[in-house]
Amino acid sequence: MKTDPIFYRLFQEYPSSFFELIGESTNLVDAYKFDSFEVKQTAFRIDGLFIPKESNSSQKLYFIEVQFQKNNYIYSNLFSEIFLYLDKNNPFQNWQAVVIYPKKSLEPTELTPYQELLNSDKVIRIYLDELSPDTSSLGLGIIQLVVGQSQEVPQKAKQLLNQATEELTDESTRQNVLNLIETIVVYKFPEKSREEIEEMLGLNDLKQTRFYQEAHDEGKLEGKLEAKLELVPTLIKQGFTIEKTASLLQLDIELVRKLVSS
């Protein structure tokens, strides 16, 4: 499983997960944009970088390195990238590096040249297997899904899909996070077909019902808002949750909740 792109995609689409991971307030999300950066005339590319939106901001830069394979040169490369970036942009910018490992054993053993920096508050090293498994956070839950055992993934993924549908009010963010969770499951089970993945996550429950087939044939699922609203009571009676109903019909969850309560 190619893990690095998953993390950078998560931090881009759901940046509060990064700030939760490093123990900072999620309120910082509004002050940053996520980006990647290539240092010209070198072979260095910084894949994960949180940059303050205000150019004269006192907020620090966050350099992110996700390392899921043994690499004895990780710190020489990382600090070279950081100082080259600062030299090319703003040498006086405050910064912090965040290095994410699945487990501590993947970290290099020879750290002497970098020990002072690693011991300082300029570097945060995170070992995902040391995170508490008991978390109600959506962002941290998705991170744990990436490193979770295969037998735990289907149930955990279902839980996160429901949680994302319920918690995220912005439609674009919600859809991006839902797609990301499904993508992680696909990566975890590369031997399974799309249909098998959908069945594993319960995504095709509705499609198997006669009600869905009739509604689809009549064009109601692709129809106007009024037609979709007419389908809500039927779905609820068939046992679908408010969250699942909203997701399937691509309706705002609060709208569905108000309709059900009335």
DSSP string for residues in 127-158:
EGGGS-S----HHHHHHHHHHS-GGGHHHHHH
Q: 32, exposed or middle or buried, with CB in 10 Å at 0-12, 13-18, 19+?
A: buried
Q: What is the pLDDT of residues 134-193, one digit of tens each?
A: 788 999 999 999 988 888 899 999 999 889 888 888 878 888 888 888 888 888 888 887
Q: Which two tokens stand for residue 78?
A: 């990382």
Q: Could you give the C-alpha distances from 134 to 47, 140, 166, 168, 188, in angstroms and in order?
A: 29, 10, 19, 21, 21
Sequence spans of domains, the chain? 4-147, 205-261
Q: What is the pLDDT of residues 56-104, one digit of tens each?
A: 778 999 999 999 999 999 999 999 999 999 998 889 999 999 999 999 9
* Contact between residue 13 and residue 1 where contact means Cβ atoms under 8 Å apart: no
Residue 250 has pLDDT above 80, yes or no: no
> What mean pLDDT, rounded, does the chain reach?
84
The pLDDT value given to residue 145: 92
Considering all CA atoms of the chain, what is the largest pairwise distance in Å, rounded to the nearest integer?
69
Could you tell me the pTM of the whole model? 0.74
Distance CA 161, CA 178 (A): 6
The pLDDT value given to residue 42: 58
CB-side exposure of 39: number of CA atoms within 13 Å?
A: 19
Residue 15 has pLDDT above 80, yes or no: yes
Question: CB within 8 A of 262, min separation 6: which ones?
Answer: none
Residue 39 banded pLDDT, cuts 50, 70, 90: low
Q: 225, exposed or middle or buried, with CB in 10 Å at 0-12, 13-18, 19+?
A: exposed
More confident: 173 or 244:
173
* Contact between residue 32 and residue 25 where contact means Cβ atoms under 8 Å apart: no
Q: Which two tokens stand for residue 189?
A: 């089970």
Distance CA 142, CA 10 (A): 8
What's the CATH fold of domain 205-261? Arc Repressor Mutant, subunit A (1.10.10)
Dihedrals φ, ψ of 238, to 5°? Answer: -85, 5
Distance CA 45, CA 53 (A): 21
pLDDT winner (highest mean) among 122-136, 181-195, 241-255:
122-136
The pLDDT value given to residue 238: 65
Q: Coil, strand or helix: which one is 29?
A: helix
Q: Which residue has the tokens 């408010």?
A: 242
Query: What count of residues does the chain have?
Result: 262
The pLDDT value given to residue 215: 53
DSSP H or E stretch at residue 159: helix 153-167
pLDDT winner (highest mean) among 35-39, 64-68, 195-199:
64-68
In this prediction, residues 130-135 reach a mean pLDDT of 84
Residue 24 has pLDDT above 80, yes or no: yes
